Structure 1
Amino acid sequence: MKPLILQSDFGLADGAVSAMYGVAEGVCDSLRVYDLTHDIPQYDIWEASYRLIQTVQYWPEGSVFVSVVDPGVGSDRRSIVAKTSGGHYIVTPDNGTLTHIKRMSGIVEARVIDETVNRLPNSGESYTFHGRDIYAFTGARLASGVIGWEEVGPTIDPASIVELPVVDAVLDGDVVSGTIDVLDVRFGSLWTNIPRTLFAALNIEHGQRVEITISNDTRVLYKNIMVYAKSFADVYVGEPLLYVNSLDNLAVAINQGSFARAYNIGTGTSWRISVRKAPRMIYE
């Protein structure tokens, strides 16, 4: 018996998530079911992918995740289960949701769900709620041990799993650059794809100042100097800071404020950020 963890863009305003819980309960009434989040912005596959890489590694080996952000529901996109290098299982449409897991964690095996076996009974004429009829049902069966890994369906090459476009972080001279991948939603911090290890090449110590430039396509929306801090406590309330987030990547924030809201910053591969050591200012 392994935990089942659910993620979706359904929200909690109606009964969609509760229906998924009900399906899992129907498979095994002693199954432990948890929520990752159901507040993924509608149709935002990129954020679904990021929330998985943020979370999966902290759950025990064998844990089963169901991620349903599925704008192509009812189309010919595949329904799959992926097994990560850490021994976790992710049940999801093959639409890019596994981008970060595939790139940063690794997928060692994958199977297409055999819907002739792994589909909620009497749901065969429904084509719009695969989260309930296929993913929650299959995930619950796998987590509870009703089926084994081999019974999910036929194997596929993990290399064939769909990935979203990604822009890698780079070091160019005295500047590291990358993208703003996602927001720390509640607090409005900007989480970048620049790893601490790449930033370390600039030899910038905590307490020193950095110059941050943020642009969207060709337009610069923010350029300023801030402290590279260990934590929010190292700067005054309302002061911006650069820090290392829980994924060991660079992040930008305002202490007790929302950087994203203050400067109207978004996320995705078109949102670029660069960091360099702040130039020394000399006053006559």
Structure 2
Amino acid sequence: MPSKTKKQGDRVKRLPVSLSGQITLLSDFGNQDYFVGAVKGVIASINPAASLIDITHEIPAQDIDAAAFTILASYRSFAPGTIHVGVVDPGVGTARKPILAFAGGHFFVGPDNGIFSYILEKETDHRVFHVTAQKYFCQPLSNTFHGRDVFAPVAAHLSNGLSPESFGEEIFDTVRLPPLVPTAPKPGEIKGRILHIDHFGNCVTNIDRSVLERSNEDRAKVMIKGKKIESFRESYAERKGKKSLFAIWGSAGFLEISACNRSAAKILKARRGDSVTIEFV
């Protein structure tokens, strides 16, 4: 759903240009076809000095939510000024906007379909531009491969020092996914959801430390898929008690439901979007 962020005219200060030379790539292209190589080729032809870093190209096909989480979890590992290209784009060739965002000292280039939604929610001091300057696109422009023909050249020109304002006008509404912030429907209760299930079967929730302070862990119990989890651990391998499922603060900063050397997702038959409730006793 679209989300209005700021009123036009609130700020006129020009943004910095990218000086890091780093460009990260994330997509659902996989590695079987020519798509990733073509994107890198376009960038290298415009800025041969750019440093290209693959975050992943194994996002499930058309899975915008998975891409949004992965970008959120990874962008802070890079230096300020890094350009992040995200291409999971089921609406390619339609009226959906190509955008360039500046948030948290980083640049983000991709479709306006929610892929940068969590970044823009976390980094409230952000600016977003509708990319319309076709002189920076590859020609002829394909209606099915904007990753190569729009996002790659825009990222490359940005890495050469062009200002974000060069690519189009600032916009004040973007497509947003459901909010990251969990709800508190009544005193003593927090309701969240599973944001992501990782390769190991850990269930990553949208509950972060600002919602659940460590001092409250002893009073908290986690309810998920009809099971009650009362064990909070410091590491995946810690063996404390006989219960297989436990809660742990993961590397992305969110509360995870895990199992020692097992897949918590398989034990729970959990899926992304499943409800997670924390009750304080």
Q: TM-score surpassing 0.5?
A: yes
Q: Counterparts in 2 of 1:148-187, with a 5 A limit?
A: 148-157=163-172, 160-166=173-179, 168-171=181-184, 172-183=186-197, 185-187=198-200
The whole-number CA distance in structure 1 between the counterparts of 2:133 and 2:125 is: 22
Q: Counterparts in 2 of 1:206-221, with a 5 A limit?
A: 211-214=221-224, 221=225
Q: Is the 8 A contact 2:92 2:146 kept in 1?
A: yes
Secondary structure at the residue paired with 1:170? coil
**What corresponds to 1:133 in structure 2?**
149
TM-score (norm 1): 0.84
Code of the residue aligned with 1:244 in structure 2: it is W
* Identity score, percent: 29
* Alignment partner of 2:124 out of 102, 106, 115: 106
**What corresponds to 1:117 in structure 2?**
135
| Residue correspondences, number | 260
* Alignment partner of 1:272 out of 253, 270, 275: 275
The whole-number CA distance in structure 1 between the counterparts of 2:69 and 2:121 is: 11
**What corresponds to 1:217 in structure 2?**
none
Code of the residue aligned with 1:224 in structure 2: it is K
Q: Which runs of 5+ in 1 are unaligned?
A: 215-220, 280-284
Code of the residue aligned with 1:57 in structure 2: it is R
* Alignment partner of 2:32 out of 13, 16, 30: 13
What is the CA distance between 1:238 and its match in structure 2?
8.3
Query: Over residues 94-146 of structure 1, what are the superposed CA-to-partner deviations in whole Å (9 max), with x where a residue is unaligned?
Result: 011121011112352121112421201x323x20000000001111111132x
Q: Is the 8 A contact 1:167 1:179 kept in 2?
A: no
The whole-number CA distance in structure 2 between the counterparts of 1:143 and 1:137 is: 10
Code of the residue aligned with 2:209 in structure 1: it is R
The whole-number CA distance in structure 2 between the counterparts of 1:238 and 1:132 is: 49
Code of the residue aligned with 1:130 in structure 2: it is H
The whole-number CA distance in structure 2 between the counterparts of 1:154 and 1:167 is: 28
**1:233 corresponds to 2:242:** no
Q: Which runs of 4+ in 1 moved over 6 A?
A: none
**What corresponds to 1:35 in structure 2?**
54
**What corresponds to 2:264 in structure 1?**
259
**Which has the higher relative contact order, 1 or 2, with Cα contacts under 8 A spaced 6 or more apart?**
2
**What corresponds to 2:7 in structure 1?**
none
The whole-number CA distance in structure 2 between the counterparts of 1:201 and 1:31 is: 42
Code of the residue aligned with 1:212 in structure 2: it is V
Q: Which runs of 5+ in 2 are unaligned?
A: 1-18
What is the CA distance between 1:228 and its match in structure 2?
0.7
**What corresponds to 1:195 in structure 2?**
208
The whole-number CA distance in structure 2 between the counterparts of 1:6 and 1:204 is: 37
Q: Is the 8 A contact 1:178 1:193 kept in 2?
A: yes
What is the CA distance between 1:23 and its match in structure 2?
0.7
TM-score (norm 2): 0.85
Larger mean Cα displacement after TM superposition, 166-175 or 65-74: 166-175
**What corresponds to 2:13 in structure 1?**
none
Q: Is the 8 A contact 2:100 2:129 kept in 1?
A: yes
What is the CA distance between 1:202 and its match in structure 2?
7.2
What is the CA distance between 1:244 and its match in structure 2?
1.0
The whole-number CA distance in structure 2 between the counterparts of 1:3 and 1:201 is: 36
The whole-number CA distance in structure 1 between the counterparts of 2:214 and 2:245 is: 22
